[in-house]
Structures are given as structure tokens and as C-alpha cells.
Structure 1
Amino acid sequence: MLNNDNSEIDEVIDIVIEPYSNMLYKSKTLQDKKEVDDTIAAIKVDPNQTLNVETHLNYILYFLISGNKLPVGFKSMNAISPWILYWLICSLMILKDPPISMGSGMSLELIMSKLKKEALLKLRKFQYNISTHIENDNDDLLHSGFSGSFMQIPHLAPTFASVLTLKLTNNLEQFEFKDMKQWFMDLMTKDRHTGSYELKTSTPIGEFDARAFYCLLVSAKLCHIDLGLDYLETLWDMLVNSQSDLEGGLNGHDKDQESHGAYAFCTLSSIIIVLDQLRLLKPEKYKNKRLHDFINIDRFIDWLAHRQDVLNGGLSGRHNKLVDGCYAYWVGACGSILNIYGYINPINMPMLKSYILNYSQDNVNKNPGLRDKPGMNADFYHTNYILMGLSLCEYENEMYLPDTFCDAIDIKCNNVKGKQVHCVNPVYGLPIYVLTEVK
């Protein structure tokens, strides 16, 4: 029995706590987390905080229509021009009833007309065609994917961003995609030693990761490219065999690697898109199948649940990493997708919404744009994905499939008054109203 003077209790506490106290000063991750936690704790949370729409709108329009050049620090982003277009235009189109005339003197219709023309002119320069690089005596140009900038080789990431931008600006019909299918086929390679297939992000060189599956599948869907049963089943075998043996996350490429929030999103969304098509192409095998028939949903949900900070509600991409506002979409969308398909969403969406409104925007100085976390600067990337994450929070229980086994591109959303953002399709990364014309 312990003594009344509690000396033995104090001794036990010292034994337990001291190693962790020492660890704090040895671990850069824990030091950073403590700094972030202290910064967040110093911010007064307003449960009624709303989105500073006009402030963020001015930030978006400043770079979209004013002719202002990017800051010097953004010069390194010249190689990802399609992404900048997508982030800014998508951010603008997520905002619901933005008070545009107050800041720009232009109507939304006039702005979108201007963006349509500018996006068309710019992205034409980035679509690869064989005449750009060699003389072609044939009048028919061989159009392939898009590059990140003029005279670069095509890559799946800027192709994805370009296609989404063209969809946002109603420009897809202005482009030729007949030869893109062959490029997609060329990206699939077979390891001569193991006999296994891999999908590259570019050719002749490129990365192998989950982005490749997602960027290719979304681009093919929006451009009406039929990939064929054999190709889809090859992708399928890779996707459903990439769940982490250690953590339960979805890795896209290698089940032995550490799970990551953005890769998990790319893999989960890719599984959804491929399964939608396999149900039609091979109904005898896939027609009535659901996610849990191919992946361990319980383990994935458990991994996903651990992405949320229990104190501030923010989301991280991996174990032992800091919260980051962009995972409001990457990880938050995984929870939304599970919810739409009849599974548990382990993410506390009201807590996530509070993190976004109280910590991802500057409510004190009203600095424009949305940010990773307090102390960080706003940028285009975080502004877009945090707005999409906010949309997922706002319409948490309003999104649904018209039919249990219908295509994810047909996800619907109940119209809810009083929201500051439009509903976003969590699989395709675009406002639902933009996708309504796609069949």
C-alpha cells in the first residue's frame, strides 16, 4: 500500500513521465507539434465563425483577372501552370453567390467569359502534339497529354489539372483527345523481372505512385476515353492489392510503404471509378460488389480515424505528423466517400469545420487566402483544398447516390440554404453543379 505522503506516487510519475519529457527535446516532430499546439491554443475559438468570403474572393480575383504577376517566390511554380489555373478557378467556383461586383466591378458571367478565353489560349500551348517536337507531314496532329509548361513532356499531374480546368471553364469540347488513349496505354509498363505491371506518371521517365491512377482515371472519364476491360482490370489488380499490411491505409502502389492521406484519397477514388466501370463491362463478376468485398474497410476506417487531432480537429496525412489544412479535403474526402457508400465516416466533420474557420483563415488581421495552419502563409493550393474540405463539412449528410451502384460522377447533393460554398463531389474534386452535364 502506498504511503500517505504520496512519495511513492511521485516516484512512479517521475519514472513514467521523464522518458517522454526527454523525448520532447530530442524529437523535432514533437517540438514542432508542441509549438503548433501552443499557437492554436492561444487563438480564441468562435463557434459561430463563418468564412471570410469577401477577403478570400479578393485574393482569388487579384491573381485571376487583374493581370498581376505572381510573386517572385512563385517563379518556381511556372512549371505547374495548369495547377495554378485549376486551384484559383475552382476556388472561385466553389464560393456560393460571391459578392464579385463589390470588388472587381465585373459580373460573375463576364469574369467566367474572360477566364474561358484565357484558359483556352493558355492550355492549348501545354497540350503535347507531335508537331511541337518534330516535323510532321501529316495534317493530323497527334495530341497527347498536357505538360506543366510550354515545350515540356506531358505528365499525368498537369494533364489532370488541365482537364479539370477545361471542365470548369466549359472548354473540353474545344480540345482533341483521340490520341490521349494511346498515351495512357504507353504509361503502363511491365517489369521484365517480376512480370508485374506498373503505371508511370510520364514517359519515357516518370514516377510510380497513387497519383498516376487517379489523374489518369479522372482525365479519361471527363474526356470520354474508353480504356477497355483489360486495361481497367490491370489497374484494378494493382489498386486492390495496395492496402498497407502495417497500417491499413490505401497506398496505391506498394502495400509495404507508409500510408499517406493524399495517396489514400487517390487510391480510394480510383477504386470507386474503376469499380463503376467494371460493373458495366463485367457484370457477372462485379455487378453487385461493394468496397468491403475488395479491401479491409475496418482497418482503413481505423487508420483514417487516427488522422484527426482530438484537440483542434485538424487532420494530418500520416502518423506522427502535424495537422495541415489541405487534408480537410484529401482525408476529409475519404470520410465523405465512405459515408456516401454506406460506411462509417470516422472524421468528426463539425470539429474539422471549426479547425478550418478558426485556424485555416486569419480572423484577426483578415489576411486573405487560406493556410495550412496558424503561422503559415496562405497560398493557392491550400485555399482550394481547404474550401473543398469546408464544402464536405457543410454537406456532410446531404450527398447521396441516386442508386446504390450508380456512377460516382452522378453523386447528388440536397440543396441547403444559407451555405457559403457549393457542394463538391468528393471523388472528382469539382463542384457537383459543374459535373451535371457529364454522362
Structure 2
Amino acid sequence: MPQRPQVRSTRPKVIFTHNKMSATSPSSSVSSSKAPSNPTTRTPSTPSEVFNDILSSAQPPPTYSQQTWNPSNPYFPHYYSQNMSTTATSPPEPLIPPTPALFTTPPILHDTLQTPSSKDQISTAEICMKHLSNPSDPFPILSRREHIAFLEGGILGVQNGKLHQAMVALDASRPWIIYWCLQGLASLGVDVGKYRERVISSLRPLQNESGGFGGGNGQVSHVTASYAAVLALAAVGRGDDEDGEEGEALGIVDRRTMFHWLHEIKDWESGGFRVCVGGEEDVRGVYCALVILALLGLPTSGNLVKGTKEYLGRCQTYEGGFGATPNGNEAHGGYAFCTLAGLCILGEPAVVLRKHLDLDRLVSWLSARQHAPEGGLSGRTNKLVDGCYATWVGGCWALVEAGINGPQDENEEALGEKKVGGLRDKPGKGADHYHSNYILLGLTSAQNYFYYTSSPIPLSSPGGAGMGAGGY
């Protein structure tokens, strides 16, 4: 058998010099069998040495002595003593640590293949570094008033009670728009009960006689639309009259037909749920169906959730995250949240998560979702950061902690803002109701500690076990 010819690679070599990385190509270097004459040049031999050199090569952020310190900055009281003198000539000691250099300097390793995604990533990183490197204002204050106005526009309309004409593209997402805006407003401290009549009148026509809600008028029932509708009705709660249908917003839901429809979309063979009659089956369908069952207090008798725990457990991939189905799909942050939340609805987190999941691999995968220097979270391996994953990935940690810690006794996203109100996928993108809601939810989860409290009330009752939250 002829020997394979040896081919010398022309790929540039990456070396570290004085803790700085530089690339040299074979054509520009002199070949020699002797050791390098420069004793400060070395090639790291282990992954840990490479990682340590990358961290040490990052330049620390500027110190306050290198910047113009402005003690009258209205944001300063959030990070310094309230007794700080405005006539001081030198900055006081900060009450919070400075931003790590990893988030204020460009990434050391760059992909030489230029694509729209890589260019978008570089652009986003540059915008984030500009803000994170500013010691006088590292955490911009949330523009609450503008965000409230933006989200209210999604419920009340922006002109003559109607949404912008561009929203026609989201005609099949009417319950979602209502839910996104309500939950975002609630996260900002707004009493969403005042939108109650508007929400009921908007959602009532979307309910089908056969059970469930469609995404728009006259559209087939869909489990994600039904999930959003039920959450929206639960959010606006009760009115002044506590009796009858007009008392509780959830009273407009026909529980009998909803229950029958959920049996229709159940996949009895796999244990999962389809998103609609004859539609695809995935973890979204399972999670949304379980939330509807829990909030409406519907029974789970008749084997409705038989095999569902096992179905969710089979969705974990080799990476540690979760795909849409058990068929080897790519791990995704949204599916990870749906799987974890679904299992926690079905049983005690400390029991079901340990039994059906590999928590060690899951923690590893979740930890890898944060990017530097952006600081945001991505939904998949080798994908860009997106503000909504503050909820889909960030929200997983409270569920994981519930699984690890068990029951307990009761006791960043500002860079996504737009000045006109609303939050967005990433800097440079447009604001929308979806990202506004999930970024605000992620910000809430980052600022509070969530813990699990057990409850004797089963899933088939209106109440049940839940997550409690206490601020740090």
C-alpha cells in the first residue's frame, strides 16, 4: 500500500509572547531545530495553560484615576454610599466589585471565517464592552416609564385602539402578544388588573367550541396559544364582582371542552403532547399542556400524564441540554426550560430531576451558555447571545437549585434597552414585546433568589407546589 504523502500545514501558528497572543505563518518564520532564542516565547502544552494565558492576556478595565470621576452622576448613589460628599476630589471605594476584564476586552480567539453571524457578534461585543468598561456607569438604570408605554401599546393599541399595521404578520400570535405585554408590565410593577376587560374581550372570540384557543379569530386550537391565553387570564385575575363568570377572568375558559381537547392532542404511545390535533409533538406541547392542567385545576386521571416524565427525560442530549424531541435534536435553551419546568410540575423537583435527568451534564451545558465579553446568554452551542435567554436559560437555574436543594422554609440586560421604550434581542436590533417580556423576567430572576416549597396539594387541584421568591 503506498504511503500517504506528508503535507505541511500552512495554517498559522498561535503563540503567546509576554502574555499576548500573536500569529505567525510558516512563510514568515525561520525553521530551526534549536530552541527559540527569545526565552519569553512559549507554546502552552495543556488546556489549562492555554486558558490561564488567555485570562492573563486580557487587560484590566481602566481605574477611576484614569477617568473623569463625576460624583454628581445620578446613577452613583446606586453603587456608592448615600453619605458620599459631592465635593470629594477622589472616588470612594465602590460597594460592588469592578467588571472583570473578561467582559471589558475583546475575545482573544477569533474565527478567521467571516460570516454575517460572526460580524454581528463582533458588533454586539463592541457595543457591550463600551458600556461595561465605563466605571462611572456600569449598570444603566432601566427606563421603566418608556418600557411601560411600549408594552401598554401592545394591549391598548398605538392608534385608535389598534396595533401597528406591521403586526398583521403576528395575527396567529394574538394571545402571545397579550401575555408578553401583561407579564412584562407585571415585572415592572404595574397592576395589570386594569386591563382585565380588554383582555377578556380580546381572548373570548379565540376560544373554539371544540376546546382550546386559536392564535387568531377562526383559527384552529393550538396548545401554545391556549397556554398564553390561560396565563394572560390568570394574570389579570378577578374583578370587583367575585361571583360567576364576570368575577374570575379564568372563568371564561370552558374547562370541560379544554379537558377533552387535551386528551385529543395527547400522544398515548410516546407519552408526549402534540401542539394541535394532527400537529407535531415536542416538549413545548408537553410543558404548555401541563401548565394549562395546573392553572385550571383539571384532573390528571385517565392516564393523561402517563409516560410524560419518561418522555421528557429522553429529550436530554449528549451535550447535557434538551432537544425538542427524544430523536436526537440539538440542545436548545427554550426546550431545556420546558423540560425542567414540566418535570417540576409533575413531581417533587428533588425526586423527578434526579431520577430522569443527568444534572451534572445539564449544569455544565447551562454554564457554557454565557458569552464573554457580551455577558449575555445564548440558546445553543456556537450561536449568538439573545436577551430572551435570560429567561429560557437563566430561569433554568432556579429549577435546578430546587432539584439540588429540595424544599426550603419560606423566610444584565440593561444593554438591550431602547430609548423609545421596549427591549430587544441584542444591541443594534429592534424592540418587540416578546423580548421585552422575557428580558424583564430574566432581570427579575437575576435579582432574586427563588426557592421551592413543597405542598400537599396535588396537580389536579387549582393550587399546588410552587416556587417562592425572596430578594437578596
- Quote the residue 1:349 is aligned against: none
Which aligned pairs between 1:36-47 and structure 2 lie closer than 5 A?
36-44=124-132, 45=134, 46-47=137-138
Match of 2:328 among 253, 256, 261: 256
Shift of 1:22: 9.2
In angstroms, what is the RMSD of aligned CA positions?
3.0
Structure 1 residues 43 and 186: alpha-carbon distance in aligned structure 2, compared to 1, 3 A threshold = same
Distance 2:352 2:403 in 1: 8
- Percent of residue pairs bearing the same amino acid type: 29
Match of 2:193 among 112, 125, 131: 112
1:53 aligns to 2:53 (yes or no): no
1:308 aligns to 2:308 (yes or no): no
Match of 2:416 among 357, 360, 363: 360
- Quote the residue 2:452 is aligned against: 401
Shift of 1:415: 5.9
Shift of 1:83: 0.6
Structure 1 residues 229 and 312: alpha-carbon distance in aligned structure 2, compared to 1, 3 A threshold = farther
- Quote the residue 2:24 is aligned against: none
- Quote the residue 2:425 is aligned against: 372
Which aligned pairs between 1:37-186 and structure 2 lie closer than 5 A?
37-44=125-132, 45=134, 46-65=137-156, 68=159, 69-96=162-189, 112-113=193-194, 115-129=195-209, 143-170=210-237, 171-186=249-264
1:199 aligns to 2:273 (yes or no): yes
**What amino acid maps onto 2:397 in structure 1?**
G
**What amino acid maps onto 2:417 in structure 1?**
Q
Specify every segment of 5 or more residues in structure 2 that has no aligned partner in the other structure, as ranges: 1-33, 51-107, 238-248, 407-411, 459-463
Secondary structure of the residue aligned to 2:211 is strand
Higher helix share: 1
Match of 2:314 among 225, 241, 248: 241
Shift of 1:57: 1.2
Deviation by residue 1:38-79 (Cα, 9 ceiling, x = unmatched): 232233553343221111112122343355232232210111
Distance 2:128 2:205 in 1: 44
1:412 aligns to 2:463 (yes or no): no
Secondary structure of the residue aligned to 2:227 is helix
Which aligned pairs between 1:310-389 and structure 2 lie closer than 5 A?
310-342=372-404, 354=412, 356-357=413-414, 359-362=415-418, 366-389=419-442
**What amino acid maps onto 1:390 in structure 2?**
L
Shift of 1:6: 7.7
Distance 2:109 2:369 in 1: 24
Secondary structure of the residue aligned to 2:148 is helix
Distance 1:122 1:226 in 2: 28
Shift of 1:402: 3.0
Q: Which range moved further: 290-299 or 162-171?
A: 290-299
Shift of 1:307: 0.5
Distance 1:219 1:247 in 2: 30
Distance 2:276 2:436 in 1: 28
Structure 1 residues 180 and 39: alpha-carbon distance in aligned structure 2, compared to 1, 3 A threshold = same
Deviation by residue 1:308-335 (Cα, 9 ceiling, x = unmatched): 1132320000000000000000000101
Distance 1:5 1:404 in 2: 67
- Quote the residue 1:231 is aligned against: 304
What TM-score do you get using the length of structure 1 for normalisation? 0.73
The 8 Å contact of residues 453 and 465 in structure 2, kept in 1 or not, is answered as no
- Quote the residue 1:189 is aligned against: 267
Q: Which range moved further: 302-311 or 144-153?
A: 302-311
The 8 Å contact of residues 80 and 149 in structure 1, kept in 2 or not, is answered as yes
Secondary structure of the residue aligned to 2:208 is strand
The 8 Å contact of residues 205 and 217 in structure 2, kept in 1 or not, is answered as yes
The 8 Å contact of residues 243 and 255 in structure 1, kept in 2 or not, is answered as no
1:220 aligns to 2:293 (yes or no): yes
The 8 Å contact of residues 250 and 259 in structure 1, kept in 2 or not, is answered as yes
Shift of 1:8: 8.6
- Quote the residue 1:2 is aligned against: 35
Structure 1 residues 127 and 342: alpha-carbon distance in aligned structure 2, compared to 1, 3 A threshold = same
Distance 2:38 2:254 in 1: 82
Structure 1 residues 47 and 264: alpha-carbon distance in aligned structure 2, compared to 1, 3 A threshold = same
Q: Is the radius of gyration larger for structure 1 or structure 2? A: 2
- Quote the residue 2:359 is aligned against: 297
The count of residues paired between Structure 1 and Structure 2 equals 352
Deviation by residue 1:373-424 (Cα, 9 ceiling, x = unmatched): 10001100000001100110110x3x222349887743222367xxxxxxxx
**What amino acid maps onto 2:305 in structure 1?**
L
What TM-score do you get using the length of structure 2 for normalisation? 0.68
Secondary structure of the residue aligned to 1:401 is strand
**What amino acid maps onto 1:117 in structure 2?**
E
**Higher RCO structure (Cα 8 Å, ≥6 apart):** 1
Distance 2:353 2:270 in 1: 24
Secondary structure of the residue aligned to 1:324 is coil
Shift of 1:27: 4.4
Deviation by residue 1:322-352 (Cα, 9 ceiling, x = unmatched): 00000000000101211233359xxxxxxxx
